[in-house]
């Protein structure tokens, strides 16, 4: 592959950058997997009421919403929180439970999750180019025998790149409209959306939505 040829020639800049990207991806994976996604704590109940009032003032939607207690862990849920059956906790601004990281994606780790997907996509695209550069197709059994690992790796990279790209695009779309995956999929079952006079009471425009999420 091109990367191997660069190492053999002593040109280490691109190989080092590639290794750093892979290392960054691994570190982000463990960070997102192990950190608190925004679990609701019992002492936050009073704050939940204040945040609910402030949330509806910010969206200029006068619809009243009654705060509810979680039927599983019995804490009073802030607006946009949801109980995760896998984690057995309520998560603030719950997006989804990701089986790949074994953790919820919520208020605290959602921006890092997007950063992880972005870095992972760069690694996969670069890895795909590296694998492709090492494939020189020949119609012979010997060629297939010596290149089967590289060929399978390339095909797997193509599959994972497609999955990560679609996942990243869908998340960026939802972020730009200030909607979580859970709200998008279960709009008809969520009380604070059912009683809202607006289709999406949290949408404040693409620029402000992105600014509030990332900054």
Burial bucket for residue 213 (CB in 10 Å: 0-12, 13-18, 19+): middle
Q: How far apart are the C-alpha atoms of 103 and 34, rounded to whole Å?
A: 7
Phi/psi of residue 160, nearest 5 degrees? -65, -35
Q: How far apart are the C-alpha atoms of 151 and 95, rounded to whole Å?
A: 36
Q: Which residues pair with 105 in a beta bridge?
A: 96
Phi/psi of residue 88, nearest 5 degrees? 60, 35
CB atoms near residue 67 (< 10 Å): 16
Q: How far apart are the C-alpha atoms of 81 and 153, rounded to whole Å?
A: 40
Phi/psi of residue 82, nearest 5 degrees? -150, 150
* Residues noted as catalytic: 98
């Amino acid at each position: 592959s091109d990367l191997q040829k660069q190492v053999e020639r002593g040109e280490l800049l691109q190989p080092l950058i590639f290794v750093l990207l892979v290392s960054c991806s691994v570190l982000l994976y463990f960070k997102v997997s192990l950190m608190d996604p925004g679990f609701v704590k019992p002492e936050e109940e009073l704050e939940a009421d204040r945040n609910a009032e402030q949330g509806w003032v910010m969206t200029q939607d006068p619809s009243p919403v009654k705060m509810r207690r979680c039927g599983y862990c019995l804490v009073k849920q802030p607006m946009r929180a949801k109980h995760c059956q896998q984690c057995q906790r309520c998560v603030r601004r719950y997006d989804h439970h990701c089986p790949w990281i074994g953790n919820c994606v919520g208020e605290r780790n959602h921006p890092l999750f997007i950063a992880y997907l972005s870095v992972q996509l760069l690694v996969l695209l670069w890895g795909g180019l590296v694998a492709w550069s090492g494939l020189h197709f020949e119609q012979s059994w010997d060629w297939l025998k010596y290149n089967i690992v590289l060929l399978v790796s390339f095909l797997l990279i193509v599959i994972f790149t497609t999955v990560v790209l679609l996942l990243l695009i869908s998340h960026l779309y939802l972020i730009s409209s200030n909607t979580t995956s859970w709200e998008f999929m279960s709009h008809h079952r969520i009380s604070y959306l059912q009683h809202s006079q607006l289709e999406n009471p949290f949408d404040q425009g693409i620029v402000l939505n992105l600014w509030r999420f990332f900054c």
